[in-house]
Structure 1
Amino acid sequence: MAKFNQVPPNTSETSCPINAISPAQVTASVTKALEGMLDAIPADCDRKVWLTVIWSIQKLGLPSGYKTALEWSQRSDRHWTLENRDHSQADFDRVWSEYRAEGAEKLGWDRLEQTAALYGYRPSTTLTTKVAPGGNNKLKVLSAGDVRDLPDMEWIIKNLIPNIGMCVLYGPSMSGKSFLALDIAFHISEGVASWFGFPCRQTNVAYLALEGQAGLKKRLAAWEKQNNTRVQRASFLVDQIDIRREADIAELVSALSPHLPEKGVVFIDTLNQAAPGADENSSVDMGLMIRACKQLSDSFNGVVILVHHTGKDVSKGLRGHSSLIAAIDFAIEVKRTRQGREWSIGKLKDEKDSISRGVELVVLEVGKDSDGDPVRSCAVQETSIFSEPKKPTGKNQIIALAALKVATIAEPISAEEAYEKIKVALLDSDSPPEVDRARGRAKEALAGLIKGGFVTSDDGLIDTTESVTEPDPL
């Protein structure tokens, strides 16, 4: 690809800002490392990342900085096009000229490394200073014996939640995930003997209730009534923050430190509300959120538990960039069907992912309002997991159920509509019935599905039994 304007306008090739990399420091290893980072960062990244890379290169003050940034940018079909190269060149030069050193504290080599790491880059060991044996080397190499002597894993909830790391509790809207998160939090903070049969260890808890704050008081009262225990060792924060901002994380650590003096568990409900306006599908935004959670985990020598949503396609799991699932130590998935609710382990490093329990939200009266009307909320209670009904075995019923699952995705349909959908599906099958008998076969198939519990018939409306859309009672 052709290159243009290799020297930036009004810029000397030998200029080198103070506190940047001097020409003498531009070794082959530094150049190679920079090339490695730029190879990792796709030039077709979004504009925010593109600007960050260009200005970070500029902050380094390299003699060839302009040329390096331009050549990297020219790899992109998004920020550089040969068909409109004059415009692309002008845009690049304008961006280069808009760089201001006084606002570039977070730019430079470290920012390039952090950005490249989000795309899989790992710094080269050739840049590491060699230390003579017995010198001031902070790295400790373990022998096999040292590994054997390492302490065993400790648990907040045994065989379920480790005492340090990062967890996600996730599920679709109205699945009851916030009720379950509060239930876990209060069992831990109050040292209740066990949670769903798993032994608990008392640990102070900080709960960031960033969503549904209005119902927090009722939910606290409902849990206390259901468990006959007064919550005393949990702290709450309802102020809005943005965990992508280092200043907000510093302020959060300062605010929570008196309440989590030795170690603690931090709940963030929800991740979306903790980073308002963030693009969860962006590797950069998600990387900043992950970094913030790890800072909190390190600061309180404990575990951070995120409450998060699934995407529109629930089967794909966690919403957002795939780096989140890679970064967490364990995950709890909350599901809701017409048979009931359940939670299960979605990811637990070095352990079997086969734990699941049934969940029921029981409605409790927790007081009276100013008009004397009852105030109600829900609390978690363990129940048996409802098994899925057996699959139909009849050929026509199998075809009919598949057709009805598609037809009832948005809402239930009338029996007449159901007959028509099944009739069409049967006639389109490999062994269709005679046309004048298709409606009768459709009625027989629907009756069999209702009797077998595969579909429901309520006031003449037909629905399948696998999805649920109605809201929680409270």
Structure 2
Amino acid sequence: MPTLPDEFDTLLGACMTASPHDQPITITTFSDVHATAQTVVTSSVRNFIGGFSSRTAKNKAALPLFKMAQFGDAATDRGSLRHDDNIVAISGIVADYDAGEISISEAAAMARAAGIAVAFVGSPSHSAAKPRWRAVAPLAELVSPDEHARMCARLNGALGGALASESFTTSQSYFYGRLDGAPELEVAIVDGQPLDRAIDLDAKALGRDGRPFNGFAATRAADEQQEPFEAARAESALAAIPATNADDPATGGRDLWLNLGMALFHGSCGSDEGFALWDAWSKRGAKYGGERDQRRKWRSFGRAGAKRSIGLGTLYRTAAQYGWEPPETAARKEAIESAIADLDDLDPLADPAEALLRPNRLRFFNPAECAAEPSRGYIVKGLMAPGDVGCIYGAPGAGKSLISPHIGYAVARGVPAFGMRTKPGLVLYVAAEDARGMKDRVRALRIRHGDADAFRVGEGITDLLTTGSEDLVELRRHVRELQPSLIFIDTLAMAFPGLEENSAEGMGRVMAAAHSLTKPSNAAVVLVHHDTKAQTPTPRGHSLLNGALDFALQLFPKDESGVVRGRLSKNRNGACDRDIAFRIDTEQLGVDEDGDPITAALVAELTLGAAAQRVKLSPSEAAARRHLSGLQVDTNGSACEREWREACINGRAVSGSDNADSRRRVVDRAVASLVRKGAVTIRDGRVFPDNGASYQHDDLEP
């Protein structure tokens, strides 16, 4: 079914994502406890722990160990690589439980209640009578070793303080496998958000001693000091929290009452307004002690030594757990509804009786009916379907306005585009920016590929944004009459002048307008837009846009070999790993009055695998890779790893720090990242650069 403009969850960015357990992460293994050598593995958690039972040994000491982290090559005096100072980055948290009381299924239930992704697997000595297990929690991205305790505290809090204290040791590694003759290891996998994204768990995080963890108090305090006090917003949040929950320790009790009081005191700078809110909320509980007692406690929050790490953020996070939505979220939904209503009102072709005759769209389907539903069909197979709204975006000059007509022209002719089959249909290309130039590009396409009467360029569109827009009414009229299967709006910025791109209301109007164009003929609509300066994998503007899209194709500027590469950052019709690459070619259209050639640019597709893979490197990674070119290489093209690392540390291009240990750590991180990206391979003390890919230097250190 096509996406409808009043499906607000979709417009607000809800989308399905892969499980954290299926994302590739870095895992380091050691053959024994001496850890004099390491093996770096890139695997998903699901696949890695799935192989635990196949590892067997006579005793636990003969099993290998693993850690979800990247290690450097700095050994201790005994030659061990497994120590805290040698950890470069953390990719996940592995924690231990050996008290023998909580079963794996009980632990899984706690993780599920906390909403976090954790895999539980029995340790080599695990049994049903004496449960002992590991908790494996992947992170969404690599974090500093300094974050290990913070992440572990979140997990410990979610599991009720059950973790063994050694779980907090940064370099602690764990045996994996089973003993000879032992049964298959028990495994339970709980899906949820990655641990580093579960910020709400900070409120209940527990340290290695089982007490509330305060390692992030300073950060939290700094964050919350920046939260402005708005009485109406605070009152709205308080209204969502039942005051009776402060009467019972099982639902928060006195701690809840105190935390909310401190949040309001520090958030309002101890104002009477803040007190009035707390006092009014407290009166709704059975244990309210009167205003005098309330005032005494309120003043105590400001005494020297009082806990100051709690601010308004605590109030809002607590309210969110009870389903509270900030007023701005409700306003955003209202703005989208209003935008859609405005568009419906301005359509002069709509039948007034149509709304009365329109059937209710709410339906429920059983499995058999789901199986009988027809497929969505396609316009470009694996990329866009009828009724979709998509976006092609990139930096200026990346080729957005070249690949867009190229794909549209392929649909008009019914021929494949980048190896994807197309279904022939009428294509309307709204050239709101540089219509003259677009006509020249279409002339070039006609010369190169032949005529395509089903491809139409439209000009004269200057404003699709304003309420009551005549341009939008006229465009919808043409869509009704011509019944296209595909519509391009090039560019979003020119077609929606004055748009506040970072506004939910503004982007809500853009999406509502786009969806209104899909209705008459079930056409797909493609918005041509810009990306962010940082080239993040989302189009420029409010996140509502990306959340509402069915597909998004990001283009990167051409590399040193002249190749422009596209990456699908979102695709509801297929995989995102499709290789889309092209070179910018030209076609001569004729000659001018002076006899000079008139040319226009167009896309020259590259077949799958013909273009070198594009890999982005940070400045430190690029500098480390450049050092390889200055070293003596063997006949197989490899260089000495030790000499390479020394050149990177001493050369100051990878890190300009005056501290040698600091430079070494930066080099270790750069090397580990280069290995992870496939830019180099390290084997038997030799470094092998990968010269088959295209490497782009990033201007900013990530």
Please report the TM-score for the alignment, with normalisation by the length of structure 1.
0.56
Q: 3-state SS of the aligned residue for 2:232?
A: coil
Tell me the equivalent position of 1:318: 539
Tell me the equivalent position of 2:601: 378
Tell me the equivalent position of 2:232: 75
Q: 1:161: Cα distance to partner?
A: 1.5
Tell me the equivalent position of 2:433: 211
State whether structure 2 residue 453 is matched by structure 1 residue 239: no
Tell me the equivalent position of 1:166: 389
Q: Any unmatched runs of 5+ in structure 2?
A: 1-11, 13-229, 235-267, 272-328, 339-358, 628-649, 665-688
Matches within 5 A, 1:239-278: 239-248=460-469, 249-260=472-483, 263-278=484-499
Distance 1:256 1:138, change over 3 A: closer
Moved over 4 A (4+): 112-115, 117-121, 136-139, 388-392, 394-397, 426-429
Tell me the equivalent position of 1:338: 560
Q: Distance in 2 between matches of 1:205 and 1:272?
A: 21
Q: Distance in 1 between matches of 2:400 and 2:601?
A: 12
Tell me the equivalent position of 2:583: 360
Q: Contact between 1:235 and 1:259, CA under 8 Å: does it hold in 2?
A: no
Distance 1:146 1:357, change over 3 A: same
Amino acid paired to 2:457: F
Q: 3-state SS of the aligned residue for 2:379?
A: strand
Q: 3-state SS of the aligned residue for 1:161?
A: coil
State whether structure 2 residue 443 is matched by structure 1 residue 225: no
Amino acid paired to 1:306: L
Q: 1:181: Cα distance to partner?
A: 0.1
Q: 1:140: Cα distance to partner?
A: 3.8
Distance 1:74 1:269, change over 3 A: same
Q: 1:190: Cα distance to partner?
A: 2.1
Amino acid paired to 1:425: G
Q: Contact between 1:207 and 1:234, CA under 8 Å: does it hold in 2?
A: yes
Q: Distance in 2 between matches of 1:397 and 1:219?
A: 40
- Give a deviation string over 1:368-390, Cα, whole Å, max 9, x none: 11222100111111222223579
Over the aligned positions, Cα root-mean-square deviation in angstroms equals: 4.1
Q: Distance in 2 between matches of 1:361 and 1:324?
A: 28
Distance 1:431 1:332, change over 3 A: closer
Tell me the equivalent position of 2:222: none
Q: Distance in 2 between matches of 1:389 and 1:330?
A: 22
Q: Distance in 1 between matches of 2:654 and 2:523?
A: 59
Q: 1:115: Cα distance to partner?
A: 4.6
Amino acid paired to 1:75: A
- Give a deviation string over 1:388-439, Cα, whole Å, max 9, x none: 57989x99952977xxxxxxxxxxxxxxxxx997398275543779xxxxxx
Tell me the equivalent position of 2:197: none
Q: 3-state SS of the aligned residue for 1:286?
A: helix
Q: Distance in 2 between matches of 1:467 and 1:395?
A: 9
Q: Contact between 2:538 and 2:546, CA under 8 Å: does it hold in 1?
A: no
Distance 1:277 1:138, change over 3 A: closer
Q: 3-state SS of the aligned residue for 1:151?
A: coil
Tell me the equivalent position of 1:430: 661
Tell me the equivalent position of 1:180: 403
Q: Contact between 1:309 and 1:319, CA under 8 Å: does it hold in 2?
A: yes
Distance 1:342 1:140, change over 3 A: same
Distance 1:391 1:345, change over 3 A: closer
Please report the TM-score for the alignment, with normalisation by the length of structure 2.
0.39
Q: Distance in 2 between matches of 1:330 and 1:395?
A: 31
Q: Distance in 2 between matches of 1:370 and 1:242?
A: 36
Amino acid paired to 2:540: R
Q: 3-state SS of the aligned residue for 2:506?
A: helix
Q: 1:253: Cα distance to partner?
A: 0.7
Q: 1:350: Cα distance to partner?
A: 5.7
Q: What is the aligned-residue identity percentage?
A: 23
Q: 3-state SS of the aligned residue for 2:539?
A: coil
